[in-house]
Amino acid sequence: MKKLFFLICCLPTLTAFTQTTTTQQYKTDFDYFWNTINDNYSYFSKKNIDWNSLRPIYQLQIDTVTTRNSFVHILEKAMNELYDHHCSLNTNTPTSSRLVPTSADMWASYRDNKPIIDEVRIGMGAEKVGIRAGMEVVAIDDVKIAEAILSYLPHSNTQEARNFALRLALAGNHSNKRKITLKTTTGLHDFFPDQDGMLLEHIEYPAMLQSSTINGIGYIKVNNFLYDNQLISKFDSVLNASLQKKALIIDLRETASGGNTSVARAILGRFIAKEQFYQKHELYAEEKETGIKRSWVEIVSPRGITYTRPVVILANHWTGSISEGITIAFDGMKRATVIGTELARLNGAVESFKMPNTKIGFNISTERLYHINGMPRELYKPTIIVPIAKQKTGEDLILQTAINFLKQKSK
């Protein structure tokens, strides 16, 4: 009887998720999706995209769509035309691509027309099976890489578009374990980053942040919780216990999913004694509608006891979105030295929208963001670039570079 009761209680919920959506409703939602991007996406000007010329290609598919999964698949293909890792749907199917960088364990790009692993995420499957920066991608699931990226390629044939497709192909999907064939210094080898399970679907952290002391230097690792206001009090507690440390390292290398500016300003406010500008914004939609550019500079205010000693920020390709904002703010306010690799280079600030019928949400970049010196945020590079390809197995070259830097600074 208990099992029967459970099934009956679940029926209303099940019905709500399986109600029929008509082809006309899919078409209405697609129109909303397309027009919203057209009117609000803020990075068309820097990309080789003729957005409206692409519409008929997808409209033909929408005209015959009958299932939610097929609709999602079409939306994903259309979203890929932006070749922008900061734009995504809030839903997926089992065969949808994992999000990059949030659910990716490798970062790669084409160099001299060769697909090269730029960096491997610490502690994830790719690192565990021996994939290292500098290796060349030959095939994915026995499909040569030139063919493997085709389903992710937008119509714009640019270097950035090819890099985007390469990263999605390497990230894989939510249901199939990957086989990656790489060219190493000892020849071709196959790697199986999901051999211990689909870890990227179940990323877990021991705490919101972790702290320790290294040679008298305070170390705070912020995990992927910059969206949670509870992080503020936890950060305060750790920092208050570190006020007498001779220097501080803040590790933002596992903050790929972004967050909110309240958390960002709360962290930044602990390192300044007076109000400062930390980031510039531009709103594209208003400029598109009126022809008049709207821009403003955001201020961060001091908060609590100010930490005044040297600070280093650790950053890499999994330092994404709001953590990129924190990084450029520390740099712009001259309160930290940034050490690491290139960041995720995510475009601008995202805004969320929801389709009227299917209620599928999507996120697109609607504001351009800048370092206070005028540099687009996505072009920022650390003050000290670490040659991560030289990192040895078991070594954390970025952290060691930071420690050595602070030792020299204290002499």
Digit-coded pLDDT (tens) for 383-405: 999 999 999 999 999 999 999 99
Look at residue 4 and tell me whether its pLDDT is greater than 80: no
> Average pLDDT in the 5-13 region?
31
Strands 247-251, 217-222: pairing kind: parallel
**In angstroms, how far is CA 186 from the centroid of its own chain?**
32
pLDDT reported for residue 123: 94
C-beta of residue 403 within 8 angstroms of C-beta of residue 214: yes
Pull the structure tokens for residue 126: 């790719």
Q: What is the pLDDT of residues 37-76, one digit of tens each?
A: 999 999 998 988 999 999 999 999 999 999 999 999 999 9
> Are the C-beta atoms of residues 167 and 86 closer than 8 Å to each other?
no
- Architecture in CATH of 209-345+381-409: Alpha-Beta Complex (3.90)
Q: How would DSSP label each residue in 134-169?
A: TPEEEEETTEEHHHHTGGG--SS--HHHHHHHHHHH
pLDDT of residue 409: 83
229-247 pLDDT tens trace:
999 999 999 999 999 999 9
pLDDT average, residue stretch 222-226: 98
User: In this structure, what are the phi and psi dihedrals at residue 339, rounded to the nearest 5 degrees?
Assistant: -130, 135
Q: What is the predicted pLDDT for the residue at 19?
A: 63
pLDDT in tens, 121-155: 999 999 999 999 999 999 999 999 999 999 999 99
Give the pLDDT confidence score for residue 157 in this predicted structure.
84
Provide the residue ranges of all domains of the chain, joining segments of one domain with +: 106-201, 209-345+381-409
pLDDT for position 199: 85
- pLDDT recorded at residue 20: 87
Query: 411 falls in which pLDDT band (50, 70, 90)?
Result: low
The pair of structure tokens assigned to 226 is 């910059």
Confidence at residue 384, expressed as pLDDT on a 0 to 100 scale:
98
CATH topology of domain 106-201: Pdz3 Domain (2.30.42)
Is the pTM value of this prediction over 0.85?
Answer: yes
CA distance linking residue 75 with residue 88, whole number of Å:
9
What's the pLDDT score for residue 110? 98
Residue 189 DSSP SS3: strand
Confidence of residue 7 (pLDDT cuts 50, 70, 90): very low
Q: Minimal CA–CA distance to 78: which of 334, 406, 380, 362?
A: 362
Q: Name the burial class of residue 89, with classes exposed (0-12), middle (13-18) and buried (19+) by CB atoms within 10 angstroms of its CB.
A: middle
Residue 10 has pLDDT above 80, yes or no: no
Q: Is the peptide bond before 206 cis (omega within 30 degrees of 0)?
A: no
pLDDT for 17 = 45
pLDDT at 97 (0 to 100): 96
Q: How confident is the model at residue 327 (pLDDT cuts 50, 70, 90)?
A: very high
Partner residues linked to 315 by β-bridges: 340
Residue from 265, 297, 272, 269 nearest 369 by CA: 297
Q: What is the pLDDT of residue 14?
A: 34
H-run or E-run covering 62: helix 51-62
Average pLDDT, the chain: 93
What is the average per-residue pLDDT within 284-298? 93
